[in-house]
């Protein structure tokens, strides 16, 4: 339709007296995107979201919604709505009054409000509950009411502040799918913040990984997982075995590194232009590591080794092995393939392992 993004942040910063909560964050979210901001607690993501909603003022930069700066627009006039962490449903009103709150503020007449409230409640699968009290709903239903309360206003952007955090694990899994479905149904731009990577990976079209007030990387879930651009992203998104190693030789086809324990590793430079003598952080995903009972199977691998099974963490398809490297005594996390070959592995068994050089991602050691 148009290329004006629904939401655009230009070098947004927020600093307090002695602390920079958000620094120079820039991104834009095209219409209809499910955009997640993923980061550990205290990384500044909540501050960023609250600045977009208007509850905090940036100390620098600009915020644009549909191409217009909203810095001077108070929160009650901004075309964004927010689903709060604990939902903030009004306990003093019934469900219909909650959902109709925004429309009442706009002065919509009563019959229209009633019709619109009923329609949006039906869209979230809660038709006919308008007269009931908020407390009569289950956690997942409250979630949907909170979304309906925002969506009835047809906001340009819907902000979601870790709304799944308070739910139990099973419901959370279910709501992930549901939220994604609702988003594509309403075709509204969602900006979702979370510290839970699986929430972000499952639901998002675009994810920004945030750390210490700044964005580390913006990309699709696959980008972040397979091509993490910084050591933080490699460590934060998904699981990884981590080494610290010194670059022995840097060549066009890869790096040769040696860890402090003397293990030789072959890996690829991720763009940090590592040179001989540099210290690097090295990440290897557990599922990139192949296992075999015969060392000959590993001949083709760039990195190989042997070790003893420390423990088997059985978790169905996500089962893992913890190995102790025979040479260095360090622990190694390996995804356990659920095939007949390894089903009888137990503690103490000897096993060979190996992985390719391009699965060994190297980053310059942070200063």
Partner 1 sequence: MTSDKSKLGFILLLAPLLIWLITLIVLPHVGMFLVSLREKTGIREYETSFANYAVFFNEPLYWNTFARTAYMSIAATALTLLIGFPVAYYIAKLTRGRTKTTLFLMCLIPFWVSELVRTFGWMILLRETGVLSSFLQYLGVVSGPVEFLYNDAAIMTGLVYTSMLFMVVPLVTTLDSLDDSLIEAGYDLGGTNWSILREIIIPHAMPGIVSGCIVVFMLSLGNYLTPILLGGKDSLWFTGLIYNQFITRFNWELGSAFGFLLLGLSSLIVFLALKLSGQSLGKTMGR
Partner 2 sequence: MITTIPQSAPFKWSYRLYVTLFFLYLALPLVTVCVFAFNDSVFPSLPWDGFTWDWFFGTEAPRIGVFHERPILRAIVTSGVVAFWVSGLSVIVGTCNAFLFVRHDFAGKNFLYILMLLPLIIPGIILGISILVFSSSIANALEEATGLWFDGLRPGLLLVILGQFSFITTFATLVISARLQKFDTSLEEAALNLGATKWGAIRQVTLPFLFPAMLAAAVVAVLMSFENFNTTLMLVGSDAPLTVTMFDRLKLGSTPVLNAVSLLLIIVSALLGLLSLVLKR
Q: Does 53 bind partner 1 (CB under 8 A)?
A: yes
Q: Compare residues 53 and 134 and give the one whose CB is closer to partner 2.
A: 53
Listed ranges 9-17, 87-95, 282-290, 325-333: which one lies at the site for partner 1 (CB under 8 A): 87-95
Q: Does 133 bind partner 1 (CB under 8 A)?
A: no
Q: Compare residues 57 and 184 and give the one whose CB is closer to partner 2.
A: 57
How far apart CA 123 and CA 135 sit, in angstroms, is 21
Q: How much is the CA Rg of the chain, to the nearest whole Å?
A: 25
- Three-state SS string over 51-87 comes to HHHCCCCCCEEEEEECCEECCCCCHHHCCEEEEECCE
Q: Compare residues 87 and 334 and give the one whose CB is closer to partner 1.
A: 87
Q: Does 90 bind partner 1 (CB under 8 A)?
A: yes
Site string for partner 2, 68-87 (x = CB under 8 A): ------xx------------
What the block records as the tokens of 232 is 């933080």
Q: Does 75 bind partner 1 (CB under 8 A)?
A: yes
Q: Which of partner 2, partner 1, none lies near 153, with the C-beta cut-off 5 to 8 A by kind? A: partner 1
Site for partner 2 in 27-56 (CB under 8 A): 50, 54-56
Is residue 210 a contact partner of residue 38, using CB atoms and an 8 Å limit?
yes
Concatenating the DSSP letter of every residue in 120-179 gives HHHHTT-TT-TTSBGGGS-HHHHHHHHHHHHHTT--SEEEEESTTTTS-HHHHHHHHHHH
Size of the site for partner 2 (CB under 8 A): 7
How far apart CA 60 and CA 214 sit, in angstroms, is 14
Q: Is the dihedral of CA 128, 130, 133, 135 positive or negative?
A: positive
Site string for partner 2, 228-267 (x = CB under 8 A): ----------------------------------------
Query: Would you tell me which residues interact with partner 1 (CB under 8 A)?
Result: 53-55, 74-78, 80-82, 84-86, 88, 90-93, 101-102, 104-106, 149-150, 153
């Amino acid at each position: 339709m148009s290329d004006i993004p629904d939401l655009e942040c230009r070098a947004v910063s927020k600093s307090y007296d002695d602390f920079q909560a958000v620094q120079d964050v820039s991104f834009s979210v095209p219409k209809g995107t499910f955009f997640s901001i993923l980061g550990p607690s205290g990384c500044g993501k909540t501050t960023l979201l609250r600045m977009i909603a208007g509850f905090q003022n940036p100390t620098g930069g600009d915020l644009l919604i549909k191409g217009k700066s909203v810095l001077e627009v108070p929160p009650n006039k901004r075309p964004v709505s927010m689903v709060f962490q604990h939902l903030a449903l009004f306990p003093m009103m019934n469900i219909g009054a909650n959902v109709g709150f925004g429309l009442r503020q706009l002065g919509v007449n009563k019959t229209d409000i009633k019709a619109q409230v009923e329609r949006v409640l039906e869209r979230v699968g809660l038709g006919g509950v308008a007269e009931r009290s908020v407390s009569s709903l289950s956690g997942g239903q409250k979630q949907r009411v909170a979304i309906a309360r925002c969506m009835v206003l047809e906001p340009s952007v819907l902000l979601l502040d870790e709304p799944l955090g308070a739910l139990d694990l099973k419901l959370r899994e279910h709501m992930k799918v549901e939220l994604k479905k609702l988003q594509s149904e309403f075709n509204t731009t969602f900006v979702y913040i979370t510290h839970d990577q699986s929430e972000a990976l499952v639901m998002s079209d675009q994810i920004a990984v945030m750390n210490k007030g700044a964005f580390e990387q913006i990309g699709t879930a696959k980008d972040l997982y397979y091509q993490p651009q910084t050591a933080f992203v490699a460590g934060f998104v998904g699981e990884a075995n981590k080494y610290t190693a010194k670059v022995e030789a840097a060549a066009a086809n890869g790096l040769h590194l040696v860890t402090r324990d003397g293990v030789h590793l072959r890996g690829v430079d991720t763009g940090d232009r590592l040179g001989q003598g540099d210290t690097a952080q090295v990440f290897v995903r557990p599922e990139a590591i192949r296992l075999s009972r015969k060392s000959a199977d590993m001949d083709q691998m760039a990195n190989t080794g042997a070790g003893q099974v420390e423990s088997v963490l059985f978790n169905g398809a996500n089962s893992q092995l913890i190995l102790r490297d025979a040479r260095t005594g360090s622990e190694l996390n390996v995804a356990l393939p659920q095939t007949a070959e390894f089903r009888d592995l137990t503690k103490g068994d000897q096993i060979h392992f190996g992985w390719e050089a391009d699965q060994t991602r190297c980053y310059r050691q942070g200063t």
